[in-house]
Every structure is written in structure tokens, then in C-alpha cells.
Structure 1
């Protein structure tokens, strides 16, 4: 079981994770571009399969997650600001 902050995550012994789930969703999506935001090791695969991976930095975000992302924001409020800006730009 992977370590998680203040949580214990149990996963079945199969080769399916967030990256596989996101890839499958995108395969059936009409979306032109994709964005995924995460802050944990379990988000790595998903960050790598989207067009824009966003790491949400905290004191507990592993450095490898920050390195895998195209964009790093300083916490959940900054992520909300980024998403709000993208929504305005696309309107």
C-alpha cells in the first residue's frame, strides 16, 4: 500500500491507476486539451498522460510530483485561481 498523508490507500494488485483511468476517459472525450491537478505520488501517472499536469505544492508534496508537472501552484487556493483564469479565458 502506498503511503499517503493522513490516509491509508489500499489498491488491488492490478496495473490500473489514475493514469489508466484518465487515459481511458480522454479516449472517449471530445475535449481538445486535458488538465490534471494532483499533489501525491498516486497522481504521477495521471500527470504524465494529460496535456497539462499541475502539481499542487504543500509541505508534503513529493519532489518527484513537482518535477513531473508542467505547472506548479502554491496550494489549493492558487489552483482555484488558475482554474478560474482558464475558465474566463475560454469563455
Structure 2
């Protein structure tokens, strides 16, 4: 599950609210051990996602770096290349 959490810091443009929410959702899924909570746990699950997304947004806003921002398309191309090498058939 956590393989879907991608680095969000130091990109231009900055991470969107949807990306932050998706990362928080994946984290809560991993920690809770379920992809969909029962009705009894839905409120706690949703609250955890909101809280973690909120904390993540603050973290991203507060982090400081001297490195130049990364380009999303370039990083996506690198990831596709790594994936192609990893899963290449002989």
C-alpha cells in the first residue's frame, strides 16, 4: 500500500491538496490495515486522514531546502524508466 505514497516536498508547482490527501489516505490504510473501514470505524478513519493531511501540509510548508525544485514530468519519466528496468522480461 505505501508504495503509492510519493515524495511531495520540493516540487514545482508544489503538491496539490489532492496529492496530500492521497498520501494521507495511503498512510492511514497502511497503519489501520484496511483499505475501507467498517461503518463503526469510518468516522475515526476519515478524521485520521484529515488530521494527517493537515499535518503533512504544514510540514511541507515549513521544510526548507537549498536544492532547486524538481520537475514532476522529469521525475515521472525517471520512475517509468526504473520500473521498465525492474520489470523487464528477459
TM-score using structure 1 length: 0.27
Higher relative contact order (CA 8 A, sep 6+): 2
Q: Which has the higher strand share?
A: 1
Q: Which has the larger radius of gyration?
A: 2
